[in-house]
Amino acid sequence: APEGTNVATHVLYLERFLNALGYPQVTLVGNSLGGWIATRFAVEHPERVERLYLLNSAGLRRENMRSPVANDRTAAQLSVEHTWGFSFPTPRFILDAVVRNSQTPAYAGFINGYDPREELDTILAQVKSPTTIIWGENDSLLPIIYAHDLHHGIPGSKLVLLPHVGHMPQIQAPTQVARLLLSSIAQQPGVVI
């Protein structure tokens, strides 16, 4: 993949970011591609990850990385409703972000430069951090089978399923997600990224 567009490069950027901030250990929270990056970071730097939260995380082998591209707000609305499983009117800022992000060279480079060697299937058992998998049951981009695969692959992980929620639980069920995160963080305070 072109420089700056593959998962390994994002893991390196995350490491540099944490170093620049002076954070030796953090709790990582990642949705979709962010979950993929967080999981790889947790495997490569287990001493730095106190806890791991994966929200409808990408990175398993069976998924189709050819994601729809939205060129205008109408196409974005259809893409968001179908692909991400939103069941309510999508806020304009999300539609604008979908259009803007799907037209960037970095997005095209990532989708077109997808490298199967970066998939998580063979390294899930190496995740040592306490892990909670939070999954919107109505995700049509990454169906619920992925949640179960992650849960069975990561030793000691906890799986929380959210009914009537799609691919972006932090936006579609923010109160539920916040409660799940805060209950754990309150027991063991630290830096959350």
Tell me the sheet residues that pair with 159.
133
Residue 157 lies in a domain: yes
Residue 42 lies in a domain: yes
Number of structural domains, the chain? Answer: 1
Tell me the sheet residues that pair with 134.
55, 160
Mean pLDDT across 14-18: 97
Residue 94 lies in a domain: no
Residue 106 lies in a domain: no
Residue 51 lies in a domain: yes
Residue 169 lies in a domain: yes
pLDDT tens for each residue of 53-72:
999 999 987 645 445 554 55
pLDDT over threshold 60, residue 139: yes
Report d(CA 138, CA 85) in Å as an integer.
6
pLDDT-derived band at 189, boundaries 50, 70, 90: low
The CATH number covering residue 172 comes to 3.40.50.1820
Residues 6 or more apart whose CB falls under 8 angstroms from that of 142 comprise 32, 56, 57, 58, 63, 167
Instruction: Check if the beta carbon of residue 125 is closer than 8 Å to that of residue 152.
Output: no
Can you give the residue range of the structural domain that contains 148? Answer: 7-63+119-187
* Of 192 and 102, the one with more pLDDT: 192
Average pLDDT score over the chain: 82
Residue 12 lies in a domain: yes
Residues 6 or more apart whose CB falls under 8 angstroms from that of 155 comprise 125, 127
Residues in the chain, how many?
Answer: 193
pTM here is 0.79
Residue 91 lies in a domain: no
pLDDT tens for each residue of 143-165:
999 999 999 999 999 999 999 99
pLDDT over threshold 60, residue 88: no
Read off φ and ψ for residue 54, nearest 5 degrees: -115, 120
pLDDT at site 187: 75
Report d(CA 13, CA 75) in Å as an integer.
31
